[in-house]
Amino acid sequence: MGSFLYFIVSSLLGLMIFAIFANAIISWLVAFDVINLRNQVVYNIAKFLDAVTRPILAPFQRIIPPLGGVDISPIIVLLILQGIKAYLLPMAFAPLVALMG
């Protein structure tokens, strides 16, 4: 049970990391006119990724000002999520996995 819970939490963190990365890439492609939000598929993907990532990015965007017009909050959030996934998550679940056997 403990390893299953670890797998679920780790997978959710991995999906969130992927969503933040994809959202940043799409926002850059839109900003440089490589893709256009008038395309319905692109608009729906961008809207979905924004809705998924906004709750995590918004607090950091309020604290960290854009540097030269570039929002670096996704980079900070990605580093924090990677740290949680690599270091805190194994430490948090180690006693539970050891207890469950």
- Whether 2 and 100 have beta carbons less than 8 Å apart is answered as yes
Domain assignment present for 17: no
How far apart, in whole angstroms, are the C-alpha atoms of residue 61 and residue 31?
A: 18
User: What's the pLDDT tens digit per position in 9-42?
Assistant: 999 999 999 999 999 999 989 988 999 999 999 9
Report pLDDT for 101.
57
Domain assignment present for 99: no
Calculate the alpha carbon distances from 17 to 28, 39, 60, 90 in Å: 17, 25, 15, 17
Across the chain, mean pLDDT equals: 91
Helix, strand or coil, per DSSP, at residue 68: coil
Domain assignment present for 11: no
Report pLDDT for 92.
87
What is the band of 2 on the pLDDT scale with cuts at 50, 70, 90? confident
Looking at the structure of the chain, the number of domains it has is 1
Range(s) of the domain holding residue 79: 24-92
Report pLDDT for 95.
80
Domain assignment present for 8: no
Domain assignment present for 2: no
pTM here? 0.86
